[in-house]
Amino acid sequence: MDNEITINIEDIKNAPDNSITDPETIRQIALWGIKNNSNELYCKINKEFEFFGLYPEVRQITILDGLKKYFAKTPQEQIEKDWAELEEYDEIRPTIGEFLKEMKKNI
């Protein structure tokens, strides 16, 4: 990852507002904004993805992706230690399943 601007600025300007979700494009829009002291293109970034400009190393969008990476890279001993540290939260209610059922009722 470097600081060279490779996106086509005119294409970004012509894109609909709130439409850009690609992490690298968002990183480059943020970089372009800093270099040009301009927030002109920020409206093009989908609001749910704005954090990519601040945290370009973030590539996982889902919790599942993060969990897969954690379990793939973390030694079993560390997983067991981490699990033990969270054990006290096992009795907190509602569970995620209960929460989702309740939310579905209210929708």
Does pLDDT of 53 surpass 70?
Answer: no
pTM: 0.50
- 85-100 residue pLDDT tens: 888 877 777 877 887 7
Kindly write down the DSSP assignment for every residue of 70-93, as one continuous string.
Answer: HHHHS-HHHHHHHHHHHGGGGG-S
Span 34-56, average pLDDT: 82
Q: What is the largest CA-CA distance in the chain?
A: 54
| Contact indicator for 9, 41 with CB cutoff of 8 Å | yes
